[in-house]
Amino acid sequence: MKALHFGAGNIGKGFIGYLLSKTGYQVCFVDVNPHMVESINNNNSYLVELLDEDHTVETISPVYAINSMTQEEKVMDAIVNADLITTSVGANNLSRIATIISKGLLKRVNINKKKIDIIANENSLNASSTLKKEIERHVSDSEMDMISSLVGFPNSAIDRLALSKESEEGEIALVEPFYEWIINKAEMVNLELPLIKDAIYVEDLKPYIERKLYIVNMGHATTAYIAFLAGESTIQSALAKPIIEDFLRATLNEASRYIIQTYNVDSEDMRAFVEKTLKRFKNKNISDDILRVGRSPIRKLGYNERLIKPTRELYELGLPIENLTIAVAAAFLFNNPDDEESVTLQKYISEKGIEQAISHFTQIGNTTIKEKIKENYYRLKNDNTLIGLS
């Protein structure tokens, strides 16, 4: 079996490629980084280190790689011959890979009539559907009809912290013990392949996507923004402070009420999920840089994004949003001169004020929510010791 994966980054190697290899696929990575492609091809393998007490290292093989910038025909041929296609390139880069994927699929439908699924594993809602729309931009309606008759775009939700480090053997993917790959089986067109090892197949993906985005991703970002204000450099060092851990737990529990109410989830199950999430974040074998976690604050302050949607929905349900509005306010104070979105955000605030910035970036219309965020913004801005956050 052949799997073609776009993106040989930390998630690509440490999570998606890792499980595909464990399932029995020969994995081919497509990437734009010539050094990464060369390294994979020189060894036909790569290393993954588990961030647990034993720091177990595994070799993933056989694998190979193609440079999409210089080997377009090889990428197209790989699309023709693949049994499964996956991605982890970042949601903003789906439009970039859509060009070559559309060319490869047009070539495939004339040669290989076997149905195939393309699973985009990005940190965004319905990434596979987004990729499909991007592909539609590059083909005619009749060509898209041919593609759609043979190609499925099942959406997925992924969850695993994946980092990397350099070593004498080359770059090593660093991954936490916990992982979750949930795939919408109802959207698949090829059900003849073996199930991906440890993946969870469901008929309705939305509850899992929202739990991941509005609990895990929200909590991770919140910790980063609070840690920035506290002068902490990592998620782990921040959560070693009881006042920050207590605040994060309260924020997670607050947001979890949105999941409980919306999807009729058992409250005890959500409480256990919150505690498991906290345990993951506190893993002392991980050094999770807050500037990395907090990057792209404008995106994370979007109307349907991790910080804003649960805040809006809880308010409409008449439920508390005190901690979430503090988290949102902290995001507006994230000031990293090396992060383009942070620079843009701070420039906007300095020129037009926080009140207008809240309206502009969150698109929230409710005056009460905006006022709570503004009050907490000034409170945090004038209180670097974070007194009163718990």
> Tens digits of per-residue pLDDT, 66-107?
999 999 999 999 999 999 999 999 999 999 999 999 999 999
Per-residue pLDDT of 252-303, as tens digits, reads 999 999 999 999 999 999 999 999 999 999 999 998 999 999 999 999 999 9
pLDDT of residue 89: 97
CB contact at 8 A, 25 and 84 = yes
Report whether 298 contacts 304 (CB < 8 A): no
Q: How distant, in Å, are the alpha carbons of 31, 39, 171, 173, 224 from that of 35?
A: 10, 6, 10, 15, 31
Would you kindly state where each structural domain of the chain is located, as residue ranges? 2-202, 206-381
Q: Domain 2-202, CATH 3.40.50.720 — does that match?
A: yes
pLDDT level of residue 384 (50, 70, 90 thresholds): low
Q: What confidence tens digit (pLDDT) does each residue in 131-144 have?
A: 999 999 999 999 99
pLDDT exceeding 90 applies to what percent of the chain?
Answer: 94
CA-CA distance, 165 to 48, in Å (whole number)? 10
Closest by Cα among 198, 202, 193 to 85: 193
User: How confident is residue 390, by pLDDT bands cut at 50, 70 and 90?
Assistant: very low
Concatenating the DSSP letter of every residue in 78-92 gives HHHH-SEEEE-S-GG
User: Nearest to residue 222, comparing CAs of 170, 182, 278, 171?
Assistant: 278
- Compute the average pLDDT of residues 304-325: 97
Mean pLDDT to the nearest integer, 199-220: 94
Model confidence at 383, pLDDT cuts 50, 70, 90, reads: confident
C-alpha–C-alpha distance, residues 66 and 4, integer Å: 10
Six-digit token pair at 352? Answer: 């037009």
Identity of residue 269: D
Distances (CA, A) of 267 to 256, 258, 276, 324: 8, 11, 14, 19
pLDDT greater than 80 at residue 387: no
- Tens digit of each residue's pLDDT (9 = 90 or more) over 227-266: 999 999 999 999 999 999 999 999 999 999 999 999 999 9
Domain 206-381: state its class: mainly alpha
- Residue 386 confidence (pLDDT): 58
Partner residues linked to 166 by β-bridges: 171
Under the banding of pLDDT at 50, 70 and 90, the label for residue 222 is: very high
> What does the DSSP 8-state code read for residue 289?
B
Over the Cα atoms of the chain, what is R_g?
22
CB 176 within 8 Å of CB 49: no
Helix (H, G, I), strand (E, B) or coil at 313: helix
pLDDT over 70 for what percent of the chain?
Answer: 98
